[in-house]
Structure 1
Amino acid sequence: MRRLQELPIQGVPATLEIRSGRWKCRNEQCARETFAETLAIALPSARKTRRVGELVRLFGHAAGGRVSERLLTRLGMPVSDNAILRQLKSHVRKQRKTEPLRAIAIDDWSWRKGFRYGTIVVDLERRTVADVLKTRSAHGTAEWLKEHPEIEFVSRDRCGLYAQGIRKGAPSARQVADRFHLMQNLRENIEREMTSVSRGAGRPRLPAVAGDRHEVVRRQSRLSRQALFVNAKRMHAAGRTFGDIAVEIGADRRTIAKWVTLDDPPDRQRSTIKPSSPLYFHEFLERRWAAGDRSGRRLFHDVRNRGYIGSFSHLERLLATWREGAPGLTPSPPPQPPPAKVEPLGETQAIDPATGWQISPMVAASLCMKPTPTLTPSEAAKVGALKEASPSFVVMRRLAMRFRGLLQGANPGKLDRFLHDARRSGVSSMQQFARTLVRDIQAVRNAITEPWSSGQAEGQINRLKALKRAMYGRASIELLRARMLPLEPNEHEK
């Protein structure tokens, strides 16, 4: 007798009781003595019919474990959340991809931002997820690509790990740089240039003051704190309690209790150095520097292995002071003179005519990338102010419009001329952008000629993030993969 869970009847759970035959084998050499009769409506050893199992998998794939458990119970098909997820993962493990992959997009996603990353692979032709990998590495990417030698196109961002993995695992595949990331890299370079041109951007114009503005602010803060200290001492001498003084001057009661025992206000203590600061590894870096190791990238790799969680640019700022011959450190050999750079003349602060505030580098970079027909009247006024104040902005906007036209067209022959003009533009950020394009020139050419991009991968990553957060961050790679991959239709649906 087999009992199988069947679809409910008018919302009432239903169970099929089926009496099946069992046959005995008369062959004494046979490993099995009896054989049970197979059923067309259920798998062997299953406790649900095929169509109930299909519904359970669909609910689990779309809504997860606990939500599906509540919904199925309300519909008259009670199943535990663990059983739902177990059946979903088992079904995905048994799936076999038969369709060959021709064009894919590959990108990373974060288990924990800044610490651990995984990889997602998207089938661009079928617009579905092809696979989800646990790690982000060149070796893992190469191994996966070796299992799919039929791949012809791989769209990726500017990550060097994926470029290296594609060269190792699929050397015959054509790499396509994502056009969105190319434009984003250009915008970042423009913003960096505008930041160097106009310091203190985004702040309103202030009356001219003698000395550094930040020093003025710090001095005013010290004077204000000194006044609070004097008032606290005076009120305590008049017999006021610590609580009354704290309420009146807006300080903590324990701070008042400490101040009344001192003659002068204490200096502010420096915050504890954390692993995000290169100074946390100062002794190690100083030993390596004294030993003659001056490579920023190599030192960055070494301190990362020792727990450094800061950025490369933060470390480079520290090393720059050492290269300039900071006291107590052995100065590095004098660097070779950089290529001659024509500094743009006449750079002044660009003021928004509508507000009187200085236009920030972020806004300037965004406007520099925007075509003239799409500008609003206020944006057009800002662009006009930027052109009048900054000759560099004029050069960068002209090059940005040319690069946008290159990506929208299908003529890679104009790319060489663009790179030549960018290198001779006299703007350091555009020269840097041209150098990065040259290092990945073939992928950039393919971005101009091929229709593929990583837009689908970005959309699937948003979906993955939503699933991961809905599962409270406790999802394993197996469950994430089961919910991201498309479910194959059942046999009766094909």
Structure 2
Amino acid sequence: MGGADRLVKLTFSGLSPLLIEEVADEGELVRLRARTPDGPVTCPDCGMATSRVHSYGERTLADVAIDGRRVLVVVRVRRLLCPTRGCRQTFREQLTGVLERYQRRTPRLTAQIGAVVRELAGRAGIRVLSALAIRLSRHSALRCLLRLPLPPLAVPRVLGVDDFALRRRRRYATILIDAQTRRRVDVLPERGAEALEAWLRAHPGVEVVCRDGSGAYAEAARRAVPGAIQVMDRWHLWHNLAEAVLKEIAAHSACWAKAGPPPNDGPRAQTTRERWHQVHGLLGQGVGLLDCARRLNLGLNTVKRYARASEPERLVRAPAYRPTLVDPYRDYLKRRRTEQPAVPVLHLFHEIKDQGYPGSFNLFVRYINQGRVDADRPAISPRRVTRLLLTRPDTLTDSKRDRLAELTAACPEMTELAGLVRAFAGLLQPATGNADRLTEWITRVRAADLPHLLAFTHGLDLDRDTANAALTLPHHNGGTEGVNTKTKRIMRQMHGRAGFPLLRHRILLG
């Protein structure tokens, strides 16, 4: 019996504060009968110890499964008499770590359920728990998650701040993390300046605030911790530059489109040229923009766009073709069609199929019908030119590098734009003198004829100290963006049915 007793104690070590009296095997259920140890218990109100028993009762709790079978613990508990006059008359004893007030599961089972639900949410969580012989509803599983203790809140020296959508375009929340360790600190139910300011005032100790270009977060940090350094995220600086570069490249498409693919001469391009002549003909007669829009049945912004263009070719865009599986075989197809103009399309398809073409016949026919074989080179869109210009030069292939050099040499503005992009990319490696180099870069932009890039520099001037800190200090907001990505996964699991307290709990538990 001594060995059996030791085996029982080892199997049910989590119930060691209880005195186990009986273990019954009931097939898919293991039922334990136990009692609390004899001894004095402290009154929860007055703190006086007592051993006077008023009555006995039973509590039934579920415990972690054993060998794929559920475990129920039936515990005989005492109701004791308080010795202090004027205090409560009786109270039921509790055992911390085993018997918690109002709970029907042991704390270790609650922690196990919460760990599963934290990763898989409600329905997926209970499906996994059912395989572990734990039966409960998704609502009970989520309540177990809410009972898990949150990690202690420690105010970081470098705070990362960003917002995420609870309901896109309607309701947003704010995530706070330690920007150095990427530990989640807190989640605020809104993204206004007042919420962040109140949190910063209640939790002093923040020295650096990493954020995006949000004016609300900037104002909150300025009011609550005026001595803290605010750092704009470098990714947002590069992203804002990329948007300005895309607009500049689209504005000069008439230049680089001539250096690259031939201009689009389809019906759409012909309509564009006709409308340009109509708009400029009316403007030459002294007709206003609004009257032009009414006479031509066009939108006012469309008329303004035509009026700003000095020639119709500036409005004709190169066809926005995406790369396809046929592109590697384009030179072979062009040579075959030159040698034998009447070669059937099906024969060409079988020839490149023998060479390793993995695509479909429909894709191949569409490629032929678009005229991409007969053109001097495949068409390229402004977005693809921007991507080439913003990519590290050492990661480009030789053909792409030559293509980029040809496109950027199409006009002086494109050449200047390429130089400015490379110069700004060099500033994204934090260094002590980057603030002065940023001033020189802004001076170069203002001397160039690049209006969209000039607008980007105006945005830098509005938040210059934060931009200087981003280019000179090693701190950034990348960890906060990563936490936001995980938060979106959590919200997809919840499908919007859970409230903010549960979402906050899941985010902070990691």
1:383 corresponds to: 404
Separation in structure 1 between the aligned mates of residue 179 and residue 226 of structure 2, nearest angstrom: 19
Whether the 8 Å CA contact 2:430–2:474 is kept in 1: the answer is: no
Q: Which residue of 2 aligns with 1:362?
A: 383
The equivalent residue for 1:337 is: none
Question: Where does 1:200-279 land on structure 2 (aligned, <5 Å)?
Answer: 205=262, 213-214=270-271
Aligned mates of 1:390, 1:42 — CA distance in 2? 79
| Other-structure match for 2:427 | 406
Q: Give CA-to-partner distance per residue, 1:6-33, whole Å, 9 cap, x none.
A: 1212111111122233321243322343
**Counterpart secondary structure, 1:30:** coil
Task: Give the deviation of 1:60 after TM superposition.
Answer: 1.7
1:183 aligns with 2:238: yes
Structure 1 partner of 2:124: 67
Q: Output the CA distance in 2 between the equivalents of 1:65 and 1:483.
A: 12
Amino acid at match of 1:144: W
1:477 aligns with 2:500: yes
Residue 123 (structure 2) pairs with residue 159 (structure 1): no
RMSD between aligned alpha carbons? Answer: 3.4
Deviation at 1:37, TM superposition (A): 5.0
Structure-1 separation of matches of 2:69 and 2:190: 46
CA 155–210 in structure 1, closer or farther in 2 if over 3 Å, else same: closer
Instruction: Return the offset for 1:449.
Output: 2.0
Q: Which amino acid aligns with 1:117?
A: Y
| Separation in structure 2 between the aligned mates of residue 64 and residue 136 of structure 1, nearest angstrom | 25
Cα pair 2:61 2:104 within 8 Å, conserved: yes
2:448 pairs with 1:425: yes
> Please, which of 10, 17, 20 is the counterpart of residue 77 of structure 2?
20
SS in 2 for 1:373: helix
Q: Alignment partner of 2:148: what SS?
A: helix
Query: Using a 3 Å threshold, how does the CA distance of structure 1 residues 12 and 200 change in structure 2: closer, same or farther?
Result: farther
- Secondary structure at 1:466's aligned position in 2? helix
CA distance in 1, matches of 2:503, 2:74: 36
Structure 2: gaps spanning 5 or more residues: 1-57, 276-287, 294-309, 322-329, 332-375
Q: Which moved more, 1:199-208 or 1:32-41?
A: 199-208
**Alignment partner of 1:326 out of 280, 287, 290:** 290
| Higher mean displacement: 135-144 or 8-17 | 135-144
* 2:233/2:476 contact within 8 Å kept: yes
Q: How far does residue 99 in structure 1 lie from its aligned partner after superposition?
A: 2.0
Q: How does 1:72-87 map to 2 (within 5 A)?
A: 72-87=129-144
Structure-2 change in CA distance of 1:99 and 1:439 (3 Å): same
Amino acid across the alignment from 2:168: K
Amino acid across the alignment from 1:152: E
Superposed displacement of residue 188, structure 1: 0.8
Counterpart amino acid of residue 36 in structure 1 = E
Which residue does 2:66 correspond to in 1?
9
Query: Quick check: 201-210 or 413-422, which moved more?
Result: 201-210
Pair 1:40–1:462, CA change in 2 (3 A): closer
Letter in 2 for 1:382: R
SS at match of 2:439: helix
Match of 2:417 among 396, 399, 404: 396
**Counterpart position of 1:172:** 227
1:42 counterpart = 2:65: no
Alignment partner of 2:116: what SS? helix
Greater Cα offset, 108-117 or 182-191: 108-117
Q: Which SS does the other structure have where 1:19 is aligned?
A: strand
Higher mean C-alpha deviation, range 36-45 or range 49-58: 36-45
- Deviation of 1:385 after TM superposition, in Å, equals 1.5
Match of 1:334?
A: none
| 1:140 Cα offset (Å) | 2.2
- Structure with the bigger percentage of strand: 2
The 1:210–1:481 alpha-carbon spacing in structure 2 relative to 1, beyond 3 Å, is closer
Contact kept, 8 Å, 2:263 with 2:318, in 1: the verdict is no
Asked if the contact 2:156–2:205 (Cα under 8 Å) also holds between the matched residues in 1, the reply is yes
Structure 1 residue aligned with 2:392: 371
**Counterpart AA for 2:506:** R
Contact between 2:193 and 2:219, CA under 8 Å: does it hold in 1? yes
Q: 1:462 to 1:210 in 2, by over 3 A?
A: closer
Distance 1:60 1:207 in 2: 56
**How far did 1:182 drift?**
0.5
Please tell me the residue identity of whatever aligns with 2:377: G
**Cα displacement (A) at 1:417:** 1.5
CA shift, 1:79, in A, is 2.3
Identity of aligned residues (%): 28
> Residue 91 of structure 1 aligns to a residue in which SS?
coil
Query: Any idea what SS the aligned residue of 1:416 has?
Result: helix
- Answer yes or no: is 1:440 the counterpart of 2:463: yes
Measure, in 2, the Cα distance between the counterparts of 1:349 and 1:392.
18
8 Å CA contact retained: 2:408, 2:418: no
The verdict on how the C-alpha distance between 1:206 and 1:26 changes in structure 2, with shifts beyond 3 A counting, is: closer
Normalised TM-score (structure 1): 0.66
Identify the match of residue 479 of structure 2 among 427, 434, 456. Answer: 456
Between the aligned partners of 1:57 and 1:178, the Cα distance in structure 2 is 35
CA contact 1:350–1:390 (8 Å) conserved in 2: no
What is the identity, as a one-letter code, of the residue corresponding to 1:33?
A: T
**Does the 8 Å contact 1:119/1:133 carry over to 2?**
yes
- AA aligned to 2:453 is M
| Matched pairs, number | 365
Please name the residue that 2:165 is paired with: 110
- Aligned partners of 1:384 and 1:349: how far apart in 2? 20
Report the equivalent of 1:91. Answer: 148
> Could you tell me whether the CA contact under 8 Å between 1:123 and 1:129 is conserved in 2?
yes
Which residue of 2 is the match for residue 416 of structure 1? 439
- 1:119 aligns to what SS in structure 2? strand
Superimposed CA distance per residue, residues 365-407 of structure 1 (whole angstroms, 9 cap, x where no aligned partner): 2222223222212211221221221221211111111111112
User: Which ranges of structure 1 fall in alignment gaps of 5 or more residues?
Assistant: 219-323, 330-342, 488-494
Pick which of 394-403 and 353-362 moved more: 353-362
Counterpart of 1:189 in structure 2: which amino acid? A
